């Protein structure tokens, strides 16, 4: 999907805000801790390449991505810092991982056995760097059995082309008031940690939530994701220890304005009926752009005022109720600041019953991204 650059709907990403969010957290870390910026899923919808370059300027030590292709994209765009692939990569891509100087998650004993067999048939220029994942209570990927962990170490010890670079886990409830499950995961990781060598370059348990509210427990490296973009990982459950600045704005414009008589229907399913003679504006944005149908009724901003989306959101358009007639081309802000009013991404997440980063990750590539990268507010496409 190519960006629709000839249409007035766009994402604006404040890279200055991202740098500030990074620097504020870096200031809280010890001199023994490093930060890897998490830029998977196109930088949580913000644009992975621009975000990564801003993160380098802000002082991160490396990056985390979801898959091999995301890692290769960073390398092909000049990112030279360490890159860790957090999810499963098929063993047959060992040579690609080494060629692109990537670190990869070891999710299971079976995966490691396959990799070990493949590597013995290759002449690698350098060892494959792996981070062993411990499933302490997330239930996704990772080792659970101590016997499997011990067998994994035996394989690693006997193959110089496999480098144990990292050991990690992921907390499922670090963003919650309740710490019961968090503490259980801590206990399990402590047991697992004792089965591996004392000296491992990266030991990391801390996602954004663990970093913000649990002092990056057990980590000499943190994986900084949601908070880097100015979003609170807990939604509204916990208060962040320092102000985070939302980096993403979503803007569009009016493309059509009309007065509709009382008692007329608007939108698919005729779910909205005008109560009086009403001014209706049409916006060139819809669910194909990531503005879900459930946003019907959500208030967007125009001229510093809140106005509701009326009728069902269409694939490419949606309608809003206006307080008066406005010219075609008038700016409408879905998320971000419009005069003295601000719409947070969290408010949109609350409205449709989801989490803030599902909102940003769901914004499609059809929306062009513009980037603010200095205090004067100049933009680049």
Residues annotated within the binding site are 140, 315
Enter the DSSP assignment of 118.
Answer: H
Let me know if 262 is a catalytic residue. no
- Give the C-alpha distances (Å, rounded to integers) separating 78 from 50, 52, 309, 372: 11, 10, 42, 20
What is the residue-wise DSSP string for 353-369?
TS-HHHHHHTS-TTS-E
Question: Which candidate in 126, 258, 265, 268 is catalytic?
Answer: 268
Respond yes or no: is residue 24 known to be catalytic. no
CA distance 282 to 168: 49
Assign 240 to helix, strand or coil: coil
262/275 Cα distance (integer angstroms): 5
The contacts of residue 15 (CB under 8 Å, 6+ apart) are: 50, 51, 54, 247, 371, 372, 373
- Is 302:326 a contact under the CB 8 Å cutoff? yes
Indicate the DSSP class of residue 127.
P
DSSP 50-84: HHHHHHHHHT--EEEESSHHHHHHHHHTT--S-EE
Show Cβ contacts of residue 137 under 8 Å, excluding neighbours closer than 6 positions.
172, 181, 184, 185, 188
In this structure, are residues 32 and 216 in contact, taking their beta carbons and an 8 Å threshold?
Answer: no
| Coil vs helix vs strand at 242 | coil
Copy the structure tokens of residue 301: 């901003």
Q: Are 12 and 230 in contact (CB under 8 A)?
A: no
Catalytic option among 19, 40, 53, 321: 40
How far is the C-alpha of 141 from the C-alpha of 119, rounded, in Å? Answer: 22
Binding residues for substrate: 140, 315
Task: Just list the catalytic residues.
Answer: 40, 268
């Amino acid at each position: 999907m190519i960006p629709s650059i000839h249409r007035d709907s766009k994402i604006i990403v404040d890279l200055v805000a991202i740098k500030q969010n990074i620097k504020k957290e870096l200031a809280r870390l010890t001199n023994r801790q490093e930060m890897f910026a998490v830029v998977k899923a196109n930088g949580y919808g913000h644009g992975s390449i621009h975000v990564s370059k801003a993160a380098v300027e802000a002082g991160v030590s490396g990056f985390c991505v979801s898959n091999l292709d995301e890692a290769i994209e960073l390398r092909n765009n000049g990112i030279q810092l360490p890159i860790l692939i957090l999810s499963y990569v098929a063993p047959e891509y060992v040579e690609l991982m080494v060629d692109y100087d990537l670190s990869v998650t070891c999710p299971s004993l079976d995966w490691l056995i396959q990799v070990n067999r493949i590597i013995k048939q290759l002449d690698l220029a350098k060892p494959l760097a792996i981070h062993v994942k411990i499933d302490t209570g997330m239930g996704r990927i990772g080792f659970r059995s101590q016997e499997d962990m011990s067998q994994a170490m035996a394989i690693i010890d006997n193959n110089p082309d496999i480098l144990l670079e990292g050991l990690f886990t992921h907390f499922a409830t670090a963003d919650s008031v309740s710490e019961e499950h968090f503490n259980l995961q801590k206990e399990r990781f402590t047991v697992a940690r004792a089965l591996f060598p004392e000296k491992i370059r990266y030991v990391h348990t801390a996602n954004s939530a663990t970093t913000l509210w649990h002092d990056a427990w057990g980590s000499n490296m943190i994986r900084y994701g949601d908070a880097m973009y100015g979003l609170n990982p807990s939604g509204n459950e916990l208060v962040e220890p320092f102000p985070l600045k939302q980096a993403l704005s979503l803007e569009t414009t009016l493309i059509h304005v009309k007065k509709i008589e009382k008692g007329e229907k608007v939108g698919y399913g005729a779910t909205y009926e005008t109560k009086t003679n009403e001014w209706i504006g049409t916006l060139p944005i819809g669910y194909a752009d990531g503005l879900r149908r459930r946003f019907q009724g959500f208030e967007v901003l125009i001229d510093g005022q809140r106005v509701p989306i009326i009728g069902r959101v269409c694939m490419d358009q949606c309608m809003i109720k206006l307080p008066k007639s406005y010219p075609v081309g008038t700016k409408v802000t879905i998320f971000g600041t419009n005069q003295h009013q601000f719409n947070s991404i969290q408010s949109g997440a609350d409205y449709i019953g989801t989490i803030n980063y599902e909102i940003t990750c769901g914004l499609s590539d059809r929306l062009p991204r513009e980037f603010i990268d200095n205090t004067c507010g100049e933009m680049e496409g």
